[in-house]
A = this chain, B = another copy of it.
Amino acid sequence: MQIAIPLFDRFAAQDAIGPYQVLSAIPGATVRFTGPEPGPVKTDNRMLTVLVDERWEDLPDPDVLVVPGGIGTRALLRDERVLEWVRGAHATSRWTASVCTGSLLLAAAGLLDGVDATTNWMEYEVLAELGACPTAERVVERGKIMTAAGVTAGLDMALILAARLTTPEVAQAIQLGLEYDPQPPFDAGSPDKAAPEIVELVRTAVTAQNAEALAEMEAAGTSR
């Protein structure tokens, strides 16, 4: 079983690594990191560098496609090369999935026209503009497309995906192996649970971070 996780400049590490950690534990599964070209790519905050194994096109027909998010997605939304690869991979995949703003890429590729899907809670409007029907659930499963909410939702999604690809028992064994018995110290993980001032704080900070990143991408000629 071949699982493709596309990487790109300014991806969000946890979006990719959560599903990788879960899905790579499926017996017989291989996770491959694809990208614009083999070699290093940096995460959204520029603090981590990960190596791409092969070009997107080198893995045209993975069994499973999991697209991570991150501000770098914005540079891919009009990149016909990656969109073409996503469409081709989806045509033959068993499952096509995304985490956080990875769903923007699925939408830009035309896979989510009129389809319920999710992304992080700050990006529903952008997802709607790209033709999908934003759905405020942690994991949204429609046909063979599974989309997850922000960043850490990729762990929950990948366990569901593991169960669909194998059996609930295998998924539970993976959950136990990763000791995924979450005990967050606060109950502030969604906008309806966090205090209004925390929601506002995050919205303001993320808007500023995204604007700065997009300006840097523009200056570097990588945004479209």
Give chain A's interface residues, CB within 8 Å of chain B: 12-14, 17-18, 20-21, 24, 30-33, 40, 45, 47-51, 53, 100, 120-121, 138-139, 149-153, 155-156, 159-160, 163, 168-169, 171-173, 175-186, 188-191, 193-195, 197-199, 201-202, 205-206
Contact = CB atoms under 8 A, between A and B. Distances in A.
Nearest to A206: B177
B176 A181 contact: no
11 contacts: A13-B21, A24-B45, A24-B47, A48-B50, A50-B50, A150-B179, A155-B184, A159-B184, A173-B202, A176-B190, A180-B189
Contacts of A205: 173, 177
Given A24-B47, A176-B198, A152 B182 contact: yes
A75 to B, nearest CB: 21
Given A20-B13, A186-B172, A152 B177 contact: no
Contact of A189 (B20, B169, B175, B189): B175
B178 A150 contact: yes
A54 to B, nearest CB: 12
B168 A186 contact: yes
A151 to B, nearest CB: 4
Contact of A179 (B121, B168, B177, B195): B121
Number of copies: 2
Given A14-B178, A47-B20, A188 B172 contact: yes
Nearest to A22: B14
Nearest 10 CB-CB pairs, A to B?
A150-B179, A181-B189, A182-B182, A172-B188, A49-B51, A14-B21, A17-B17, A181-B190, A180-B189, A151-B178
From A40, A120, A182, A206, name the one whose CB has the most chain B CB atoms within 10 angstroms. A182
A172 B198 contact: yes
A136 to B, nearest CB: 11
